[in-house]
A and B are shown apart, each in its own frame.
Chain A
Amino acid sequence: MTQLALVIDLNVCVGCQACVTSCKEWNTSGSAGPMGDQDPYGADPTGTFFNRVQTFEVGEFPNTETVHFPKSCLHCEDPPCVPVCPTGASYKRKEDGIVLVNYDKCIGCKYCSWACPYGARELDEQQQVMKKCTLCVDRIYDMTMAADDRKPSCVKACPTSARLFGDIHDPESAVSIAIRESGGYALMPEWGTHPANHYLPRRKTRIKIHDDELERADNPLKVDRQLPRPAMNEPTLDDVTTW
């Protein structure tokens, strides 16, 4: 069985909100209807988004790290939001594991949003139906698009490639490899929802440079007991001289 999902690399997300705006642009223009905004230029703007990027500060000053945290529906493998829906408007697709809302059936009772521990669902004030990330289901199967474009809009927009998209049930997919090899994890595992989306943790990036990588031990000048010029502590151009 296929389970499409996003894998989000918190190590490289810079919090630029490009995924937020591209998501809104793509999905508000689609056939499913607009993602309404209320009072967009007023004092208290609000509106529907499928994807939000939040920011957290981890640690204590001065040893802090800023973590940008994109959050959208995680397309849980055991979605608690689906069985509670009284109309069957919320459903999980067998063929690819995407959790969707049928806007024509939804009565806007909000019960599913209570049953999602992640706050991934938002009631659209304009259409009065429940909305959430669709994994761009209207993009990823659109054969009129170039193969490279058949990805969720957010994935295409991310300038740092922090968002990977693929089938987490295929052990050889890029997302499965990333989860396996880079310590991918799920949010709130304590509820047994088995989110399909995973996050890759922050990693410390360190390189070890050994002395002999900066200074050759077998420099022929040194073998001849001469010092290379310019001196080690003088400014040099690469390749002009080597120590």
Chain B
Amino acid sequence: MRLEIKDLHVHYGKIEAIKGVSVVVNEGEIVTLIGANGAGKTTMLKTISGLRPVTSGQIIFDGKDISKVPAHERVDLGISQAPEGRGIFPGMTVLENLEMGKFHRKNRKAEMQEDLEKVYHLFPRLKERVSQAGGTLSGGEQQMLAIGRALMTRPKVLLLDEPSMGLAPQMIANIFRIITEINKTGVTILLVEQNAQQALQRAHRAYILETGNIVKEAKASDLLNDPAVREAYLGTGAH
């Protein structure tokens, strides 16, 4: 299930947020997209999941151009996004949020229990809070719920938008460990992050996005040692 983005352009009104980006995510990989605030990371993910329309360019998934397919049908194809920040249903319980992930699955009845167990296994905290309203969870718990809910759709490619945002340091390490674990179960991952250190350690390959353009593409481990990258994104260039 290769995901290939070819010469993608995306606009907000007259403003061009993505200016001709090409990205490849191979089956089984963790690919990370790193960039500063406003670089266009969220826009990229929203365009891949179908929430934003494409101006021009192609999104090729499993050999087909899906750039005209509506978002809710891309879920059926196997693309699932855990939205940035608090993208959960605040008035639904944890369980109901997770159940929403099965909304459009044909075998939802049969799959439900099995997939709930899988999510609870990854995030034991969610199991303790099944009947708590999503909106009353802590920021970190909401993040777990957003990822868990995305997993309920049985994605082939999981799009994660800043999963470490607002988390305590030990929680960040934990989330990244879980991301690797999810990847090991065969889910391809496109990870958007500002926490470049952790993202580069976990990912196979990385792209650097600056104001709508890809300025660098390399193996993640290479970027970790790249002085320019260290300076700009790891804040350790001077050492």
A binds B: no
